[in-house]
Amino acid sequence: MPLRIQKQHFSKISQFSKRDVNYVTQHTSLRPFYKYTPNLDAFKSVIEDKSKASIPRQLLVNILKEQYSHFDLNDTIQDNIDALLDKNTFTIITAHQPSLFTGPLYYIYKIITTINLVNALTNKYPKYKFVPVFVSGAEDHDFEEINHFHIFGKTIEWSTEESGATGTMKTDSLNDVLLQLKEFIGNNENGEYLYKLIEKTHTKNEFYGMASLEMTHELFKHLGLLVLNMNHKKLKQHFIPFIKDEILNQVSAPLVNSEIENIKQAGYKAQAPPRPINFFYMIDQIRSMITLEDDIYKVKNSEIQFSKDEMIQEIENHPERFSPNVIMRPIFQESILPNLAYVGGGGELAYWMERQPQFDHFGINFPMLVRRNSALWVNKSMKKKIDKLDLTINDTFSINDAFIKEFIKKNSKNEVSIDQESKEIQEIIQKLAQKAEKIDPTLKPFVLGNSKSIEKVLEKIGGRLMKAEKSKMETQIKQLDYIKEKLYPKNGLQERYDNFIEYYMRYGESYFEVLQNSFEPLIEEMIVIMEQ
C-alpha cells in the first residue's frame, strides 16, 4: 500500500482547543500546572523521582498473573510482567473506559503512542526496562459513552437493562450487537478474522470489563502491551489509607479547586471540578456518589448509609466497594504502578493539570503528561476527490462557509465578487458627501447615513450572485461537503468518531503497522496518512 505521510501543526487545526495546542507547544501560561517538560531528556528526572517511591511490585505482578491466567500469553507479555519486580523497570500508562469494540479511533491511537514511547525510551535509556500498560476504566458507569461505535457512517449500539459499573455488565446482552457487526463485515477476509476475535472474547467472558480487556490484549499482545483491570480487592486494600483520607477528611476538593482557580486566572476553563467526596460506592448494580449529611455518609439513590465509625469499618472490610472517580483515579493508578508518564488526549491532560497539589498531598510523584498522537487517514478514493477539486490536505482542515465562498470565487467561470463595485460605490458616496457638505454641512450626515442602506443592498446582490453561482457549482460543493463529513465527521475529528474495524477490514494487520511506523511521540503535529 503506497502511502505518503505528512504533518499538520496542531495550531492550524481548529478542532483542537486552545489548551490542547498550548500544551503541545509548551506555552508559558500552562507551565505551572505540570511537573516535567514533555521530552525524552526530561525522563531522566522522572526516573530519578519515581525510583524513590514505594511501589507494591509483588502485589502488582501477582494480580497481573491472576488476570492473565484467563488469556493467551506469549513470551513478551510474560517477560514484561516478570520484569515489573525489578526496581529498574518502569511503566508508561494509558487508560480508557471499555468502549464497545474499542469505540473511537483514539482508543487505538493512545495505545500505539504508548508503545512507541516505550520503544523510544528503551533506545535512550538502555539500562532501564520500560513496559507499556493499558488500564481499563471498567468501574465507570457512563454507559451512554461506551455503548456504541460507528462503522461506515452507521452506528451500532448496545442496549441492556443493567446499570452500575460497565465492566460488571453481562456479555450475553451483546448478542444483537454481534449480529449487526457480522452483517457489516459480510465476507470480508480481514473482517471475518476480526469478528472471530471479537466474538470469542465477548462470549467467553461473562463480564464486559474482562471481555473488553481481553480484546485489547489480543490486538496488541505481540507488541508487549500489558492490560490491567484495577477493580481488584487486593489493589483496593493497598489503597485503603488514601480512601480513608479522602472520604473522612475530604482533602481533594479544596486542593483541586484552588488549582482550578489558578488555571482560570491563566485563561482556561475548569475541566473536571471535584466533588466533596471523590469516591463512588459500588455494590451489585449500584455505583453511586457518597455524600456527607449531618455526620452521616449516604449513598445517593439508595437507602445505604453509614456513621463515621461504620464507614471506617466498611472501608477496611470492603475496600473493593469504593470506586475512585476521575479526581481520585489518577492517584490510584500512580500509587500502584511504577509509572513515569501518562499518555492521553487533550481533554484528559487538561484534568491531570488540575491535580498537582493533590498529588503533593498524597505524597505521590506527578508523572509526565504526554499528548497522544493524533492522525487523519485519507484513503485513495478520498485523495482523488481532493485532487480533483485542486485542493491540498491542508485546505481540508478549514472547509467551512467562508472557505466555500472563496472556493466559488476562485473556481467560478464568472466574476462573483462585488468587492470592486462596492469600493467604487463607496468612493462615489464619499464624493457626494463632500459635495453636499459644501452646499449645506447638515447634508453630509444624511448622505453618509444612506450609504448604510446602499451597503445592505449590495450585500443582498452579492448574496444572490453567490447563491446563483453556488447552484451552478452544486456538484463541486457537494463534493466539498462529502470530504468534510468523511474526514471531519460532525465537524469534529475522524479519530473521535470512526472505529478501527472498517480500517482493519480494508488493510488487515498492516493498518496497525502503518500507524506504529508513522506515529512519533512528543511531537506538535497531527499525522496525515494518505494513500497514493
CB neighbour list of residue 120: distance below 8 Å, 6 or more residues apart: 40, 521, 522
Same domain, 250 and 169: yes
In a domain, 116, yes or no: yes
Length of the chain counted residue by residue: 532
Same domain, 226 and 117: yes
Same domain, 167 and 112: yes
- Mean pLDDT (the chain, rounded): 92
Give Cα 347 distance to the centre of its chain: 6
**Concatenated DSSP letters for 437-453?**
HHH-TTHHHHHHHHHHH
With cut-offs at 50, 70 and 90, classify the pLDDT of residue 468. Answer: low
Q: Structural domain of residue 422, as residue ranges?
A: 390-505
Average pLDDT for 16-44: 97
Average pLDDT for 434-457: 77
pLDDT of residue 92: 98
Average pLDDT for 369-385: 95
Sheet holding 322-324, edge to edge: 305-306, 296-299, 286-293, 279-283, 322-324
Same domain, 150 and 282: yes
With cut-offs at 50, 70 and 90, classify the pLDDT of residue 477. Answer: confident
In a domain, 326, yes or no: yes
pLDDT of residue 195: 96
pLDDT of residue 466: 58
Weakest-pLDDT range from 315-329, 425-439, 475-489? 425-439
Q: At what angle do helices 474-487 and 443-472 cross, to 10 degrees?
A: 80
With cut-offs at 50, 70 and 90, classify the pLDDT of residue 404. Answer: confident
Average pLDDT for 368-380: 97
DSSP 365: P
Contact 338, 89 (CB under 8 A): yes
pLDDT digits 0-9 by tens, 200-232: 999 999 999 999 999 999 999 999 999 999 999
pTM: 0.89
Average pLDDT for 306-327: 97
Please tell me the number of Cα atoms within 13 Å of 482 on its side-chain side.
Answer: 13
pLDDT of residue 16: 95
- How many domains does the chain contain in total? 2
pLDDT of residue 177: 96
Same domain, 298 and 395: no
Same domain, 415 and 275: no
Q: Is the dihedral of CA 121, 123, 125, 126 positive or negative?
A: positive
4 or 470: which leads in pLDDT = 4
Residue 350 has pLDDT above 90, yes or no: yes
In a domain, 519, yes or no: no
Weakest-pLDDT range from 80-84, 182-186, 307-311? 182-186
Query: Containing H/E element for 526?
Result: strand 525-531
In a domain, 16, yes or no: no
Same domain, 277 and 398: no
Same domain, 361 and 418: no
Query: Containing H/E element for 229?
Result: strand 226-229
Residue 365 has pLDDT above 80, yes or no: yes
pLDDT of residue 432: 82
Contact 95, 134 (CB under 8 A): yes
429 or 221: which leads in pLDDT = 221
In a domain, 490, yes or no: yes
Structural domain ending residue among the three candidates 343, 371, 399: 371
Residue 451 has pLDDT above 90, yes or no: no
With cut-offs at 50, 70 and 90, classify the pLDDT of residue 439. Answer: confident
How would you class 454 by CB atoms within 10 Å of its CB: exposed for 0-12, middle for 13-18, buried for 19 or more?
A: middle
In a domain, 478, yes or no: yes
CATH of the domain at 117: 3.40.50.620
437 or 520: which leads in pLDDT = 520
Residue 155 has pLDDT above 90, yes or no: yes
Mapped onto helix, strand or coil, the DSSP state of residue 170 is strand
Residue 518 has pLDDT above 70, yes or no: yes
Same domain, 307 and 434: no
Same domain, 349 and 477: no
pLDDT of residue 49: 98
Same domain, 365 and 394: no
CB atoms within 10 A of CB 258: 13
- For 150, 196, 283, 291, the CA distances from 302, given in Å and listed in that order, are 35, 41, 11, 12
pLDDT digits 0-9 by tens, 239-288: 999 999 999 999 999 999 999 999 999 999 999 999 999 999 999 889 99
Same domain, 229 and 337: yes
392 or 33: which leads in pLDDT = 33
Residue 467 has pLDDT above 80, yes or no: no
Average pLDDT for 407-418: 64
In a domain, 100, yes or no: yes
pLDDT of residue 416: 57
Residue 402 has pLDDT above 70, yes or no: yes
Weakest-pLDDT range from 95-99, 233-237, 477-481, 488-492? 477-481
With cut-offs at 50, 70 and 90, classify the pLDDT of residue 442. Answer: confident
With cut-offs at 50, 70 and 90, classify the pLDDT of residue 407. Answer: confident
With cut-offs at 50, 70 and 90, classify the pLDDT of residue 456. Answer: confident
With cut-offs at 50, 70 and 90, classify the pLDDT of residue 435. Answer: confident
